Structure 1
Amino acid sequence: MTSPVWHPYSHLKTQTPSPKVVGGDGPRFTLDTGESLLDATCSWWCMIHGYRHPRLIEAIQRQADELCHVMLGGLTHEPADRLARELVRVTPEGLNHVFFSDSGSVGMEVAMKMAVQYHYLRGKPAKHRMLTLMKAYHGDTAGCMAVCDPEEGMHSLFAGFLPQHHFAPAPTAGFDATREEVQADLDALRGVLEAHHEEIGALLMEPLLQAAGGLNMTSPHYLRGARELCDEFDILLIFDEVATGFGRTGRMFAANHADVTPDIMVLSKGLTGGYLGHAATLATDRVHDAFIGDSALHAFMHGPTFMGNPLACRVALESLAVFEEDDYLGRIEALNGVLREELVDDEALRAHPDVADVRALGATAVIEVHDADSLRGAADFARTQGVWLRAFGRWLYTMPAYITPHDDMRRITGAMKGWFLSRER
């Protein structure tokens, strides 16, 4: 019997039946066929602790015995209060206010609305457009689609439906670039700001790692320069750390690499270790205090039904505790060593005619190819090696769970390299 589930990002005419997952443990999930597959994609980058982590499961069960859900409108509860305090503690200095929602996309919508209303309340209603970067991806809701790359992104069909914002060129200087090497990228950003700053309310970016836009890895110097430019032109800086937050780039947050505090930061994915959907939009005193006033327009009119869900808050608290107590940053550094040794430093892989680039940052690595056709069949090949991979476009990547043992990590990288060796036969 055909399943009535409408799967995401699938071409209905050509899609094949989806494997059915019946369980998981550690870095692996199990199919109804009995196959056990290493999850090299961390289930869309969120299952940082792997599957069936006992402490996270117990946290959900204990909270379910007390309170599963209550609206945050006019009420509060201890898990939400505690999680907000913990997020203020671990994020860059100055992000003192936490607005909860239920997904990364909604968290970004909240951030954009905050920016527009912030400028309105300061008597600058013309600053109602966003500036974002080419190769950006910020989500699939309408507001987020409008700030995704309009050319290479997946939402060009909706161009006539979406509001129009401004775009700056994607940074080209890599993670290890010097400030001098980054200057051309910052000059391009300055050019857009000089031309349009009177109507730009905020600059949005995925700091250091443009994930779904091609896993582009950029320099901390770009973040510092962007912070300076935003201050110069009275523009809020919004960091979308949905994918980069909680260790993915090798620091707790990508912002930490540059010692930069954005005006607004959005978190999701790793926030709960992937065990429940949840998001948080954090703001500085500067942003928050602009909403203190007497008029009806000072209220921030947004309230997702499941914001601050007690189950999600409780598992997020446990996720953060596990992260810190089990030295996940140390684990990520070790994983990065394996990724560099097995992929980045493999001269034969880099010299393969299909390969355009190989790069790694934190617990992320990607093999970029010249032509997307050369990755057709890569996922099926990896499955024969006991690994679950999902290539997209011209990128074959891994974002593993942080608890992945080194031997399993080498099995993942072996499947990635093995695909290119198999094409030589």
Structure 2
Amino acid sequence: MDDLISRTRAAVWHPCTQMKALEATPPLAIARGEGPWLVDTGGRRYLDAISSWWVNLFGHCNPRINAAIVDQLGKIEHVMLAGATHEPVVALSERLARLTGLGHAFYGSDGASATEIALKMSAHFWRNAGQAEKNGYVSLRNGYHGETVGALSVTDIPLFKATYAPLLRNTVQVPTPDARLAEAGETAEGFALRCADALEAHLVEHAAETAAFIVEPLVQGATGMAMYHPIYLKRARELCTKYRVHLIVDEIAVGFGRTGTMFAFEQAAIRPDFICLSKGITGGYLPLSAVLTTDEVYAAFYGDATARGFLHSHSYTGNPLACRAALAVLDIFEADQVIAANRVKAQEFTGLLADVAMHPRVRHFRQRGMIWAFDVAQAQPGFSARLHQAALGQGVFIRPIGNTVYVMPPYVTSADDMRILAATLLACLKNSNI
């Protein structure tokens, strides 16, 4: 293990990490995975309580996903999607269209790529429609959509954004419907509608230069699992239609069952103009993202002129191995009736976390689908790192966001696994030094 740690310090630049910190708190040296568990090079097991950055749905080394990838390896590992096609990408596109109500899937490699694709596609649509001035974007305060230049422009988290501000486009952020921010006595629904009024006030003045409104539906992840009422999405859809602005739903973190439905926007009974997908799409196996849109948007690019087409590409667009992994994930959802099973499991797990929710240090305990979160009152600087290390000591891999502790486990997590997690969280909360 020590050799692997020294080698990673010398050769690897880790994401979202101050590398100097690895001198005091080295990363886990992972050798393998088993279901919801990670196993280090010394044989110690850690419950993957955050699904390896929210990507793992059905556990590490899932035999069904493994088998699909192995089968695909014997056929074709990759072929460029410009000028060629293949069965896995066509089959996946067809299935995603049936699930989302949108079609014409365009593929990238990660969530930020999906955001870039949707933003560019929206502005290009308006240009093709003779309204090139409609090239601005609106997003929610405290929202996160990725860290490439376009995606970071619509992100609103200073830690990620401030350093790169000179590189970014100016965009507009409107009030977030995060229910924690409601006034005393105000319901989550009432607050969401009040925030939607602020969106309308902006669109009244600026719709003529606005291409799209991009939103994380129901849960804003990187800001600390901020949850809000579905009425906001319903109202946003009405406003975007009224003022002729595209609605982009960023389902990168919350898609594929995380919020209790296959996609979060379903809970508002709407259809967006674009949907961005990634993370869980391959069950945590291979990098893949997709953007799906409407027939109207697709038709605006269809013609004889090359410049009218959507000129965007990634070398590994529609990679067959990744598409086969995604198809295996969708097979598991269907065969195991995962959405229905998760609703039962979510209720059980919420009960197992009842003592955590009642702890005197806990504020705003919240849950939606297979996501749980709470804020810790009067958390001192360094709280996140201290809790992370303390939980590792008890065999749980968890990474708080500031003073927010969240749980987003693989769907194969058992009640016994959850009891271990609940006991670990309680022990950490009871420790006044954390």
> Do the two structures share a fold, i.e. TM-score over 0.5?
yes
Q: Is contact 1:343-1:358 (8 Å) kept?
A: no
Q: 2:240 aligns with which of 230, 233, 236?
A: 230
For the pair 1:343 / 2:356, whether they are aligned, the reply is no
> Bigger CA drift: 268-277 or 386-395?
386-395
For the pair 1:68 / 2:68, whether they are aligned, the reply is no
Q: 1:407 aligns with which of 394, 405, 416?
A: 416
Q: How far apart, CA to CA, are the structure 1 residues paired with 2:208 and 2:323?
A: 39
Counterpart in 2 of 1:59? 68
Q: 2:125 aligns with which of 104, 118, 127?
A: 118
What's the offset of the Cα at 1:345? Answer: 6.9
What's the offset of the Cα at 1:379? Answer: 1.3
Q: 2:153 aligns with which of 121, 146, 149?
A: 146
Counterpart in 1 of 2:321? 311
Identity across matched positions, percent: 36
Counterpart in 2 of 1:137? 144
Q: Is contact 1:379-1:391 (8 Å) kept?
A: yes
Q: Which amino acid aligns with 1:160?
A: P
Q: How far apart, CA to CA, are the structure 2 residues paired with 1:408 and 1:23?
A: 18
The alignment's C-alpha RMSD in Å is 1.9
After the TM superposition, which residues 205-354 of structure 1 pair with which residues of structure 2 at under 5 Å, given as runs?
Answer: 205-343=215-353, 348-349=358-359, 351-352=360-361
For the pair 1:356 / 2:363, whether they are aligned, the reply is yes
> Bigger CA drift: 165-174 or 305-314?
165-174
Q: How far apart, CA to CA, are the structure 2 residues paired with 1:134 and 1:48?
A: 28
> Bigger CA drift: 364-373 or 308-317?
364-373
Q: 1:127 to 1:113 in 2, by over 3 A?
A: same
> Bigger CA drift: 44-53 or 4-13?
4-13
Q: 1:150 to 1:24 in 2, by over 3 A?
A: closer
What's the offset of the Cα at 1:361? Answer: 0.7
What's the offset of the Cα at 1:191? Answer: 1.6
Counterpart in 2 of 1:171? 177
Q: Is contact 1:211-1:243 (8 Å) kept?
A: yes
For the pair 1:90 / 2:99, whether they are aligned, the reply is yes
Q: Which amino acid aligns with 1:392?
A: I
SS at match of 2:142: coil
Q: How far apart, CA to CA, are the structure 1 residues paired with 2:292 and 2:207?
A: 24
Q: 1:157 aligns with which of 159, 163, 182?
A: 163
Structure 2 gaps of 5+ residues are 1-5
What's the offset of the Cα at 1:421? Answer: 1.2
Q: Is contact 2:157-2:223 (8 Å) kept?
A: no
Q: Which amino acid aligns with 2:395?
A: G
TM-score computed with the length of structure 1 as normaliser: 0.94
Q: How far apart, CA to CA, are the structure 1 residues paired with 2:41 and 2:59?
A: 19
Q: 1:31 aligns with which of 14, 36, 40?
A: 40
Q: How far apart, CA to CA, are the structure 2 residues paired with 1:225 and 1:125?
A: 26
SS at match of 1:292: coil
For the pair 1:18 / 2:27, whether they are aligned, the reply is yes
Structure 1 gaps of 5+ residues are none
Q: 2:52 aligns with which of 12, 33, 43?
A: 43
Q: Deviations over 1:234-276 (max 9, x none)?
A: 1000000000110000100001111111000011111110111
For the pair 1:397 / 2:406, whether they are aligned, the reply is yes
Q: Which amino acid aligns with 1:80?
A: V
Q: Is contact 1:60-1:315 (8 Å) kept?
A: yes
SS at match of 2:261: coil
SS at match of 1:110: helix
Q: Which amino acid aligns with 1:146?
A: S
Q: How far apart, CA to CA, are the structure 1 residues paired with 2:316 and 2:64?
A: 23
Q: How far apart, CA to CA, are the structure 2 residues paired with 1:413 and 1:192?
A: 43
Q: Deviations over 1:185-232 (max 9, x none)?
A: 111111221222121100000000101121111111000000000011
Q: 2:387 aligns with which of 372, 378, 383?
A: 378
Q: How far apart, CA to CA, are the structure 2 residues paired with 1:400 and 1:334?
A: 15
Q: Is contact 2:152-2:161 (8 Å) kept?
A: yes
Q: Is contact 1:339-1:413 (8 Å) kept?
A: no
Q: Which amino acid aligns with 1:109?
A: E
Q: Is contact 2:356-2:426 (8 Å) kept?
A: no
Q: Deviations over 1:305-363 (max 9, x none)?
A: 101100001111011101121121123213321342233675632x32xx332111110
Q: Which amino acid aligns with 2:111?
A: G
TM-score computed with the length of structure 2 as normaliser: 0.92
What's the offset of the Cα at 1:290? Answer: 1.1
Q: How far apart, CA to CA, are the structure 2 residues paired with 1:48 and 1:191?
A: 39
Q: 1:195 to 1:414 in 2, by over 3 A?
A: farther
Q: Which amino acid aligns with 1:313?
A: C
Q: How far apart, CA to CA, are the structure 2 residues paired with 1:345 and 1:385?
A: 18
What's the offset of the Cα at 1:385? Answer: 1.9
SS at match of 2:178: coil
SS at match of 2:352: helix
Q: Which amino acid aligns with 1:243?
A: A
Counterpart in 2 of 1:81? 90
Q: Deviations over 1:83-132 (max 9, x none)?
A: 000101111x2x02111111111011000010000000111111101111
